Amino acid sequence: MKLQGKTAVVTGAARGLGRAIAKRFLEEGADVIMTDIDAGGLETAAAELGAMQACVMDVTRFAQVQDTFNELIKKQGHIDILVNNAGITADARLVNMTEEQFDAVIAVNLKGVFCCAKSVANHMIENGFGRIINIASVTAHNGNFGQTNYAASKAGVISMTQTWAKELGKKGVTVNAVAPGYTLTEMVSKVPEKILDSIRMKTPVNRLGRPEEIGTACVYLASDEASFVNGAVLKVDGGLVL
C-alpha cells in the first residue's frame, strides 16, 4: 500500500471530493483524520469509512485551525500529508454578486488553504518530510460564467501552491495542486442536466469525472512515487482545458 504508515489530514471531508480522497487514502493504508465544519455529516462519513479521527473545524478561523493541528500533532506524533479540499460556491454574475458572496468564498477556498498549510508547515519542516496537496479547479485556468469568486479563489490556490513549492521544497516538503474538471459530486449534481450534457460534449473523453479519480490523483502526489513532483498542477479534467 502506497501510504502505509503515513498520517493524513483531509479538509472538507464530510462529502464529495473530500470524502472520496479520504476513502482512497484509507485504501492505501494511511491513517486518515477527516475534518469539516459540518459535524453531523462528518460523523457519518468518518464512521462509514472507518477514519482514525474526525475533527469539526472551520478553516477560516486561524486560531481554531492552529489549535486543532497542534492537538492532532500532540496526539498522533506526526502529520505527513495535508489535503486542502474544503471549498464552497456562491454563484452569481458580477453585476449581481454581493460582497458577502465574494468574501465567503474567498475566506473558505483561499484563506482556509493558507490557515491549514501555515498550521502544519513548521511541523513538516521539523520532520524533514511533508506532502501538501491543494484542490484547485479547471475554472482557475479558464474562468466560468457566474463564478468570479470561485475562479479567483482557485487561481489564488494555484499561485500559493507554486510559491510554497519554492519555499518548502528544499526542506523536504512538496506542495502540489490537483485541478479537477467537472466531477460527479453533490455540488455538480445541482447543475441543470442540459448544462451537464453540454460539458460532456466539450470534454474530449465525453464524460464527467468520478470522485475516486480525484482521490487517486491525490494518492499519487502523496506517495513516494511523486517525490520529485513539486509545484505541479495536475489537471484531472478529461482534457477539458488544453
Sign of the CA dihedral with 70 first, then 72, 78, and 84 last: negative
Q: Name the amino acid, one letter, at 137.
A: S
Grid coordinates representing 33 are 483524520
Grid coordinates representing 122 are 513548521
DSSP β-ladder status, 31-36 and 53-56: parallel
Q: Closest by alpha carbon to 136, among 164, 165, 104, 113?
A: 113
Three-state SS at 180: strand
Q: Which of 102, 150, 164, 182 is catalytic?
A: 150
Active site residue 182: no
Residues 6 or more apart whose CB falls under 8 angstroms from that of 176 comprise: 131, 132, 133, 134, 161, 165, 221, 226, 229, 230, 231, 232, 233, 234
* Residue 231 Ramachandran class (φ > 0 left, ψ -120 to 50 alpha, else beta): left
Order of strands across the sheet that contains 7-10:
53-56, 31-36, 7-10, 81-84, 130-135, 173-180, 233-236
Q: Closest by alpha carbon to 8, among 151, 197, 209, 215?
A: 215
Catalytic residues: 150
